[in-house]
Amino acid sequence: MTQLMNENGIRCDGRRIDQIRNVSIKVGVLKNADGSAYIEFGKNKILAGVFGPRDVHPKHMADQDSGILRCRYHMSPFSVTERKNPAPSRREIEISKVIKEALQSAVILKDFPRTVVDVFIEILQADGGSRCAALDAASVALVDAGIPMRDMVSACAAGKVADKIVLDVNDEEDKEGQADMPVAYMPNLGKITLMQLDGILTPDEYKKCLETAIGGCKQVYEIQKKALMEKYFKNGEA
């Protein structure tokens, strides 16, 4: 078993307990999508493409009063060490659902009745926290597609590793640690749109973990904004 934290509180990948992995985002990377983003979140490498608003197929899914949102989170066969079967797994179906719900509160689709906005997420390389990183890229891709939004959605996990609350759990910490709490947050509205918890925390740890994750979301938000500024404003400034 890997030692997850040394006696100086340094984690297995060299980070402090309150330190997020390196995050970089590039906007507008797919020419055929209406909006797109590529994110590297530590060793996670993820592409998000947004298509729409466009006609809904099958038509019975259409809502006469609003546009609808569809999301697909998909892991490429080479995204993990053992080949991943390309068919959608139970886990990918669940993650697609929670990502959709986390973005749903932010998008405003009532002006696009009978249409759909499709969000396709391809995990090229996974390293723990991929649903949060995927959400971060998808949110930026929605902005890039010009979809009206109440706020950005910024996501980051926190967790419990070696009895300590840590920010941004990596793959090893996720597998061998004590708890993992992915959180998505609308930073200007101060609202949580996704919160899951795998593991057991005391009420105090729970509170600290949630606050830590929200702190991470706020850091990610700054990186999302900067990435959009880089595409839409000269020299990255408004």
Q: Which residues from 56-85 bind ligand ADP, rule CB under 6 A? A: 80, 82, 84
Whole-angstrom Cα distance, residue 188 to residue 90?
33
136 touching ligand ADP, by CB under 6 A: no
- Beta carbon of residue 46, minimum distance to ligand ADP (angstroms, whole number): 10
Among 2-10, 11-19, 23-31, 121-129, the segment contacting ligand ADP (CB under 6 A): 121-129
- Beta carbon of residue 77, minimum distance to ligand ADP (angstroms, whole number): 10
Q: Tokens standing for 175?
A: 């597998």
Q: Tokens standing for 170?
A: 């990596």
Q: Which residues from 84-113 bind ligand ADP, rule CB under 6 A? A: 84, 91
DSSP string computed for 148-168: -BSS--EEEEEEEETTEEEES
Q: Tokens standing for 158?
A: 């926190």
User: Which is closer to ligand ADP, CB of 34 or CB of 136?
Assistant: 136
Q: Tokens standing for 112?
A: 């696009």
* Cβ atoms of residues 211 and 7 within 8 Å: no
Beta bridge partners of 55: 115
Q: In this chain, which of 118, 127, 136, 168 binds ligand ADP, going by CB under 6 A? A: 127
Binding site residues, ligand ADP, CB under 6 A: 80, 82, 84, 91, 126-131, 171, 174, 180, 182
